[in-house]
Each structure stands twice: as C-alpha cells, then as structure tokens.
C-alpha cells in the first residue's frame, strides 16, 4: 500500500538568503543562518527523507528554526520543493493539488480567520468551501467548543483559537491531517483532550503528521518521530528507539572520604562535589556491578537514582552535540 506521506530528499531553499528580508519568519539564530546559506539562498530544508504509513501518527520535532514548518508546508502543497519529491496519498501535493486537497486537513500555526465572525459563522463559512463537510456541531463538540458558537473569534482565548483551527481542519473528514503545533497555548487539560482526539482519529484510520515543541506530546502520542536540526533529520524511529540510542544515567553521592576513583574501573564516573554521575548503555550490568561493589566495600550510595534516557535528554543531547560540532568547524 502506498504510504500516506512520503518525503524523498526533500529540499526547500528561500531565495535571497535569510538576512531578515521581507517575508522571512522569525526563529532563526545567526549561527544557524550562516551555516545554511548557499549561493541560491537560505537552505531551510536540506534533503530529508521519511515515510508515514496510513493510520500512523508521526511527529516532527526540532529546535526553533529547524525547518519543521517549511517541511510541512511542502507536504501540504503550499509551496514547490527546491529539490526532491513530496507525495501525499500517492500524489504530488503541489502539482496535483486538486487531487490531494479534498483528502487532507490542515491546521496551520496561525489560523488567521476574520476576527469579527462568530465561531458558528467561521465554521459555516469553512464548511461552505469543504465538500462532504461534517456537521458543525460534531467538530465543535469534538474540540471542546460546544457552547461557544456565538462568541466572536476575537473574543476567544489563544487556546480556544487553536481548538477552532483544529475543528476546521477536521471538517472534511481528512484521510491525512497536518497539525502544526496543535497544542501550543492550550492548558494541560486542553492538551490532553487534543491528544485523546488525535488518538481517536488514528483509531478511525486517519494519518496524522504533527509538529510539536512538547517532547512529552511526541513521546505519548507518536508511533514514530523524527528530530530535525538545521534543516536535516538527525535522529528518527519510534520514541523507544530514539531514547534507547541515548545513555541511561546512574547518580548517587559517595560518603566523605570515599573518592570516585575507588569505584570499579568499568564505571567511568564524573564526580562533582561528591555527587557521582555514570552514563551507560548497559544500565542493568553497571547497576549490578555498582551495587555489588557498594555491598562488598560497605559503602552507602545516598540519593541513588538510576533511569533510562528520556526523549528530552535525547533532544537536548542532539542540539548541544551539533552546536559543538559547528563551533569546532568554525
């Protein structure tokens, strides 16, 4: 079966470079810009490949300015790639827009509806442009906006506007749903409601591609994810695979008079003011060895804490590692 979404060596270059000219979105840091400028302009997306099977939730993560929105816009058919190919439901989303558009739902970062319209009017207007639209009540209930129909868009809170964005994206019963930072601005409850809704959509067979800055969101929601940094995918896989690539951590405090140098050699440890941290890819073996050593030596390991890496650690590690590599290259 053709994947719902397929990106192959996808590239996006903004003409004229990213020197703060008109039309440029904010978010890039100067170091990032320098390394991504080429003769043709600014390389926001630098040859990325991934595919999303039907019915899967796929999350694109990345630092600010990594190229997530630029990628999603190519897949939505809002711009033509500068290189490589994008396929959505087997079609080119830019050239075959009329075949793709009715089958996808798009929630942009900024909805930009007329702010004087009410919620009900906005949904009606949108439904008028959507073939086979769901009843307004259904999408408003699904997104927690039932009862807010008569409120003007300008009177909605930021979180309620995100919900309205989502309601509109759902109107056409999309087979593929693109969600660009769907829960930004939502409170904890709103975020959880959105997660439940996205899971329910997956259960109905909808494919979802989302971008997010909330690592917990990707960890709990995504079947697979990719982490972008400076226009490239630097790590991808299931949340478990991505975190497994990172070392686990064992931390404890040694009693006064027991230097970290007395630990078994295998447990290469970093000590700061008595607190020891061991980073390891063999958590069980190293923990067993450490506990055996402590027992034999009669040493108490205060505040002992052993844990696998989280997605957040994987993410931070990637960001700092690539920044170090860049600094070295400069």
Ligand X SMILES: Nc1ncnc2c1ncn2[C@@H]1O[C@H](COP(=O)(O)OP(=O)(O)OP(=O)(O)O)[C@@H](O)[C@H]1O
> Contact between 62 and ligand X (CB under 6 A)?
yes
Distance (Å, whole) CA 279 – CA 3: 38
With beta carbons less than 8 A apart as the criterion, state whether 164 and 107 touch: no
Distance (Å, whole) CA 27 – CA 43: 14
Among 25, 40, 192, 281, binds ligand X (CB under 6 A): 25
DSSP result, 215-273:
HHHHHHH-SEEEEEETTEEEEEE-HHHHHHTSPEEEEEEPPTT--GGGS-TTS--EEET
Size of the site for ligand X (CB under 6 A): 18
Among 67, 159, 172, 239, binds ligand X (CB under 6 A): 67
Question: How many other C-beta atoms are found inside a 10 Å radius of the C-beta of residue 140?
Answer: 22
Least distance to ligand X, CB of residue 230, Å = 9
For residues 14 and 126, which CB has a smaller minimum distance to ligand X in the complex?
14
For residues 67 and 144, which CB has a smaller minimum distance to ligand X in the complex?
67
Q: Is 84 helix (H, G, I), strand (E, B) or coil?
A: strand
Pick the stretch among 61-69, 197-205, 253-261, 281-289 that binds ligand X (CB under 6 A): 61-69
For residues 28 and 119, which CB has a smaller minimum distance to ligand X in the complex?
28
Distance (Å, whole) CA 8 – CA 83: 9
Question: How many other C-beta atoms are found inside a 10 Å radius of the C-beta of residue 152?
Answer: 14
> Contact between 23 and ligand X (CB under 6 A)?
yes
With beta carbons less than 8 A apart as the criterion, state whether 127 and 199 touch: no
For residues 60 and 301, which CB has a smaller minimum distance to ligand X in the complex?
60
> Contact between 70 and ligand X (CB under 6 A)?
yes
Pick the stretch among 21-29, 46-54, 195-203, 264-272 that binds ligand X (CB under 6 A): 21-29
Among 6, 11, 50, 69, binds ligand X (CB under 6 A): 69
Least distance to ligand X, CB of residue 66, Å = 4
Distance (Å, whole) CA 62 – CA 29: 14
One character per residue 79-108, x = contact with ligand X (rule: CB under 6 A) = ------------------------------
Question: How many other C-beta atoms are found inside a 10 Å radius of the C-beta of residue 190?
Answer: 18
Q: Which residues bind ligand X (CB under 6 A)?
A: 14, 18, 23-25, 27-28, 32, 42, 44, 62, 64-70
């Amino acid at each position: 079966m053709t994947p719902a979404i397929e990106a192959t060596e996808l590239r996006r270059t903004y003409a004229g470079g990213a020197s703060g000219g008109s039309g440029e979105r904010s978010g890039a840091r100067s170091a990032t810009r320098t390394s991504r400028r080429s003769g043709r302009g600014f390389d926001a997306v630098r040859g990325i490949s991934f595919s999303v099977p039907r019915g899967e939730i796929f999350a694109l993560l990345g630092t600010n300015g990594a190229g997530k929105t630029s990628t999603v816009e190519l897949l939505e058919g809002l711009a033509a790639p500068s290189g490589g190919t994008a396929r959505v439901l087997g079609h080119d989303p830019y050239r075959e827009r009329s075949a793709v558009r009715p089958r996808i739902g798009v929630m942009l970062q900024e909805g930009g509806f007329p702010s004087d319209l009410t919620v009900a009017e906005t949904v009606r207007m949108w439904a008028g442009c959507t073939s086979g639209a769901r009843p307004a009540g259904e999408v408003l209930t699904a997104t927690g906006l039932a009862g807010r129909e008569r409120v003007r868009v300008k009177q909605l809170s930021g979180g309620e506007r995100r919900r309205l964005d989502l309601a509109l994206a759902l109107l056409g019963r999309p087979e593929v749903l693109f969600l660009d930072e769907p829960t930004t601005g939502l409170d904890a409850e709103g975020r959880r409601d959105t997660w439940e809704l996205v899971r329910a959509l997956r259960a109905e067979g909808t494919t979802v591609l989302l971008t997010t800055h909330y690592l917990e969101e990707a960890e709990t929601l995504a079947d697979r994810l990719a982490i972008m940094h400076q226009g490239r995918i630097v790590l991808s896989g299931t949340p478990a695979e991505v975190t497994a690539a990172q070392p686990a951590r064992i931390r404890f405090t040694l009693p006064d008079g027991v230097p970290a140098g007395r630990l078994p050699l295998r447990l290469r440890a970093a000590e700061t003011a008595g607190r020891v941290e061991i980073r390891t890819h063999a958590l069980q073996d190293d923990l067993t060895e450490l506990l055996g050593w402590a027992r034999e030596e009669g040493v108490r390991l205060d505040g002992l804490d052993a844990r696998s890496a989280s997605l957040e650690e994987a993410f931070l590690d990637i960001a700092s590692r690539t920044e170090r590599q860049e600094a070295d290259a400069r």
